[in-house]
Amino acid sequence: DTGVSQDPRHKITKRGQNVTFRCDPISEHNRLYWYRQTLGQGPEFLTYFQNEAQLEKSRLLSDRFSAERPKGSFSTLEIQRTEQGDSAMYLCASSFMGRDQEAFFGQGTRLTVV
């Protein structure tokens, strides 16, 4: 296992289109997190899962954003009707509950909305 994997690495889309990103966590990890990072800022929490259950979703998260983790393994993050303000790096991380101190991040998906 080489770590947390995210796909695609880069995505350019036109405003109003829908996009979907995928995250494959480290295989034995049961927690999975999504973050968003814009230039000059720290990662901003979006949502997280324990197995297939979505435990928390940021109040700042628009209802255009939805995330799933159907079998408790990989996760998808979908953004509907994208806006220019959605342009950011979308980061995924995973950890093993009980050892949450070891949360490892993927390389991220850079979204550009034009």
Partner 1 sequence: GEDVEQSLFLSVREGDSSVINCTYTDSSSTYLYWYKQEPGAGLQLLTYIFSNMDMKQDQRLTVLLNKKDKHLSLRIADTQTGDSAIYFCAESTGKLIFGQGTELSVKP
Interacting residue ranges for partner 1, rule: CB under 8 A: 33, 35, 40-45, 48, 55-56, 91, 93, 100-108
Compare residues 83 and 102 and give the one whose CB is closer to partner 1: 102
Rounded to a whole number of angstroms, the minimum distance from the CB of residue 67 to partner 1 is: 13
Identify the DSSP state of 113: E
Determine the Cα–Cα distance for residues 51 and 70; give it in Å rounded to an integer: 9
Compare residues 20 and 57 and give the one whose CB is closer to partner 1: 57
How far CA 41 is from CA of 36, 45, 88, in Å, comes to 10, 12, 10
Rounded to a whole number of angstroms, the minimum distance from the CB of residue 85 to partner 1 is: 19
Rounded to a whole number of angstroms, the minimum distance from the CB of residue 94 to partner 1 is: 12
Compare residues 17 and 41 and give the one whose CB is closer to partner 1: 41
Compare residues 14 and 40 and give the one whose CB is closer to partner 1: 40
Identify the DSSP state of 3: S
